[in-house]
């Protein structure tokens, strides 16, 4: 009986004449299945409600290409995009002027000036530059990032750089709270990127592109990075933090929920994690329903029309077992099928609430 259960195709042994050679020769990287399921499909061409994309970048850098982007936004029912520039100083000013000249759909977030983070006048110099960016028009700070070797700009100057719980950041995060600037932080990466690239890695086909080498001296693992971030959020209760990409722990919704429960000044964005979250559609739906007031929509991907449409299909429909033209994992996509009430908050209303905190 047990043997019969194991052989899902029927209660007879597989024949030795099966095309084992083809399987032996097929490379995993070439595996490109096509869904056979005959089911009703839904392909929303625009977001069901007016949407704010809380997580994008400088994907276009000329007036003409930004104008094209605006056209795509209009077609997709996106009313506003937050562009995380990472920039400060003249570069921030240039980007601010460029984007706001083309359209009022864009709002720009600045980075921290980390250029002299190991000098005695830091953080005073960085706080001064933050205030300057704010008066120029920066609506928040983003995206700061730590994948284990410290904050991105700091580690470019000297490795390891600063983690977000380093007291050197305190004055900057306090200033953000004072100005009402939300701080968007990328901590870690999906768990598969920290696991060995071997036969047991569940997210293998994407993990191999983004692998993080835990043998690097001084590196923190995913737990260490998440803990450093949470410590920072705890230390600055008057500052609003957005943990982007669901704090990269959507494989453990219980933990993510517990962190949200204990830190009311923290929000999450779901950007660039549609493939990671839609693989568990029921758990994800349950989580999004429970934390519907703390979740922000974002994309964090090149703004081509197909990318936007993939978001609407996954979030709005209950389509099952489909593949995207461009996808990173071996698994099929599943629609999460959020209710209108939850969509309205995640697409729009939560972002409006968050962005209203700025002291202008």
Applying CB under 5 A, which residues contact Zn ion? 143, 300
Angle between helices 124-136 and 89-102 (to 10 degrees): 20
What's the closest the beta carbon of residue 322 comes to Zn ion, in angstroms? 25
- Burial of 55 by CB count in 10 Å (0-12 exposed, 13-18 middle, 19+ buried)? buried
Residue ranges of alpha helices (H) inside 76-169 are 89-102, 124-136, 152-157
The residue of the chain with the least Cβ separation from Zn ion equals 300
The minimum distance between CB 261 and Zn ion, in angstroms, equals: 25
Q: For Zn ion, which is the closer residue by CB, 57 or 285? A: 57
Q: How many CB atoms lie within 10 A of CB 9?
A: 6
Of residues 127 and 141, the one with the C-beta less far from Zn ion: 141
Could you give the CA distance from residue 101 to residue 116 in angstroms, rounded to a whole number? 31
186 vs 313, beta carbon nearer Zn ion: 186
Distance separating alpha carbons of residues 288 and 267, to the nearest angstrom:
12
CB of 58: closest distance to Zn ion in angstroms? 11
Task: Provide the CA 100 distance to its chain's centre, in angstroms.
Answer: 24
Q: Which is nearer to Zn ion, 143 or 189 (CB)?
A: 143
Q: How far is the CB of 17 from Zn ion (least distance, A)?
A: 51
Q: How far is the CB of 186 from Zn ion (least distance, A)?
A: 6
107 or 143: CB nearest Zn ion: 143
Distance from C-alpha of 129 to C-alpha of 112, rounded to nearest angstrom: 8
Two structure tokens written together for 137: 């028009």
């Amino acid at each position: 009986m047990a043997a019969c259960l194991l052989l899902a195709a029927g209660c007879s042994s597989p024949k030795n004449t099966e095309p084992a050679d083809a399987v032996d020769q097929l490379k995993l990287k070439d595996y490109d299945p096509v869904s056979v399921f005959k089911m009703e499909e839904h392909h929303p061409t625009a977001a069901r409600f007016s949407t704010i994309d809380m997580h994008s970048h400088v994907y276009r850098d000329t007036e003409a290409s930004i104008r094209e982007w605006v056209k795509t936004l209009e077609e997709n029912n996106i009313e506003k995009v937050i562009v995380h520039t990472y920039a400060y100083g003249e570069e921030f000013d240039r980007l601010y002027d460029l984007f706001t000249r083309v359209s009022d759909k864009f709002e720009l977030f600045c980075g921290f000036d980390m250029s002299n983070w190991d000098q005695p006048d830091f953080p005073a110099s960085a706080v001064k530059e933050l205030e300057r960016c704010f008066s120029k028009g920066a609506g928040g700070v983003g995206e700061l990032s730590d994948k284990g070797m410290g904050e991105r700009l700091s580690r470019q100057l000297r490795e390891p750089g600063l983690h977000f719980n380093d007291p050197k950041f305190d004055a900057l995060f306090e200033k953000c709270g004072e100005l009402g600037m939300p701080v968007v932080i990328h901590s870690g990466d999906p768990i598969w990127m920290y696991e060995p690239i071997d036969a047991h890695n569940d997210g293998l086909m994407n993990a191999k592109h983004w692998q993080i080498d835990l043998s690097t001296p001084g590196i923190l693992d995913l737990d260490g990075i998440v803990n450093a971030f949470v410590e920072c959020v705890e230390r600055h209760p008057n500052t609003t933090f957005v943990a982007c990409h669901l704090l990269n722990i959507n494989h453990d919704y219980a933990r993510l929920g517990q962190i949200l429960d204990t830190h009311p000044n923290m929000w999450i964005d779901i950007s660039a994690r549609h493939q990671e979250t839609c693989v568990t559609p029921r758990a994800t739906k349950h989580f999004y329903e429970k934390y519907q007031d703390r979740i922000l929509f974002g994309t964090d991907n090149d703004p081509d029309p197909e990318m936007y449409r993939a978001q609407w299909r996954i979030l709005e429909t209950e389509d099952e077992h489909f593949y995207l033209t461009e996808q990173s994992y071996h698994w099929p996509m599943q629609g999460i099928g959020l209710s209108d009430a939850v969509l309205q908050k995640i697409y729009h209303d939560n972002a409006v609430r968050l962005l209203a905190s700025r002291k202008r």
